[in-house]
Amino acid sequence: MQHNLLLLTLILLGLVAAINCAAVSAAPPEIDFYKLYDNPEAHISIKDRRTTRDRIAAHGYPAEHHHIVTEDGYIVGVFRIPYSHKLQNQDKIRPVVLVQHGLTSCSDAWILQGPDDSLPFLLADAGFDVWLGNGRGNTYSRNHTSRSPQHPYFWRFSWHEIGYFDIAAMIDYALKTNGQGQKAIHYVGHSQGTTVFFALMSLRPEYNAKIKTAHMFAPIAIMTNMENKLVRTVGPYLGHRNEYSLFFADQEFIPSNNFLLSLFSNLCEPDYKLRPVCENVVQKLYSGSRVNMTAMPDGMATHPAGCSTNQMLHYLQEQQSGHFRQYDYGPQKNLEIYQTEVPPDYPVENISSQVHLWYSDNDNMAAVEDVLALSDRLPNMELHHMEDPLWDHGDFALNLEVRKYLNEPVIKIMKKFDQM
């Protein structure tokens, strides 16, 4: 490989030298460079990024994009598949389902595997009214009634506020917009999508009455036994209120750059000229893995979707403390907010809704011991252990057989509940 590169370099240098010599010995030709290079077929233009709505509609499903204002002024973008074009069931009762993404992710993550395997499409084809949430700060939720995302105050939130305000607003809005008089929804969350559910249902227990069944994929609350090496490495530094965490706090994680995001999107979108570049990168990164390789380029086109650094700090605090508790602002501010120097634990015993915990042995983010410790405190839960010993954190989203081992069983549980 190195010899080939050296040869190519020498050839290029030779060409440059030849061109320079020719330029010295010959009169410059009259060339209309504008006509020569103004060839539309030769251009690689930056196209607008596709939204979740565009991706859903591309498969023939009806798609809607809604903007919901939370109690504290954030405007979150939510997408909806109101019915199935295959069933034409728009005039029938369609139970509401809210599906919530994980950290640094967005609604796009749920539909990357297409209509044959992705949970939202399968839900729609099973007769549900499907809503795909986006937590504040990500690609689709970068607006506020009075704050700009350019201002640091915009980013003063953790996943606590996503649960307490955003998920609550999504539930209420979806039930109202459905217009069929329904009083409760089904909920699905992956990773952080489970954490925000636990936070909301613990502190606003009245929302438990608005939940039929809740499905927690790779549930994260207690993090004592988490094996993720990066978390364990940085936890001692950023998982406490100190000069390191203060420097990292209250800002956007990887500030959004529209040009770069559009560039990544154009690299990885189907039928775009540079798609082979993205596919080659994916093959190198995920060679031999069990993820859906067809979906991975679309994943690279849409992720990371953005978040606040406080969301990460909050998780690191959980890992260091061994508690599932509220954000630690330091003793002085904790006294002002909580009336105690140490943040209070989330009272998960208040979660009375039917919670299904889907967990696995090979998940380095949601350790089995931590899931079981949480389950002991939940009054109405059911454990679902993934039998595949290699099933990991990402498999809950992109495993090749996610339809068979996860999505279809979840839909079966929902339909059974609705038939009771």
Q: What is the number of alpha carbons within 13 Å of residue 55 lying toward its C-beta?
A: 28
d(CA 100, CA 189): 5
* Set 191, 202, 308, 360: catalytic member: 191
Residue owning tokens 């590169």: 5
Q: What is the CA angle 144-153-239, rounded to 5?
A: 120
Residue 19 token pair: 């061109």
Is 287 marked active-site?
no
* Set 118, 202, 393, 395: catalytic member: 393
Residues 6+ apart with CB under 8 A from 391: 360, 361, 362, 363, 399, 405
Residue owning tokens 């350790």: 367
Q: Is 379 helix (H, G, I), strand (E, B) or coil?
A: coil
β-sheet bridge partners, residue 291: 399
- Long-range contacts formed by 173-182: CB under 8 A, 24+ apart: 173/66, 173/68, 173/78, 174/78, 174/80, 174/96, 174/98, 174/129, 174/131, 175/96, 175/210, 177/66, 177/80, 178/94, 178/96, 178/129, 180/93, 180/94, 182/95, 182/96
* Set 117, 166, 363, 370: catalytic member: 363
β-sheet bridge partners, residue 238: none
- According to DSSP, residue 228 is labeled -
Is 363 marked active-site?
yes
d(CA 62, CA 110): 16
Q: What is the number of alpha carbons within 13 Å of residue 352 lying toward its C-beta?
A: 8
**C-alpha 14 chain-centroid distance:** 50
**Pairing between strand 74-81 and 64-69?**
antiparallel
φ and ψ of 68, to 5 deg: -115, 130
d(CA 113, CA 290): 13
Q: Is 136 helix (H, G, I), strand (E, B) or coil?
A: coil
Which residues are known to be catalytic?
191, 363, 393
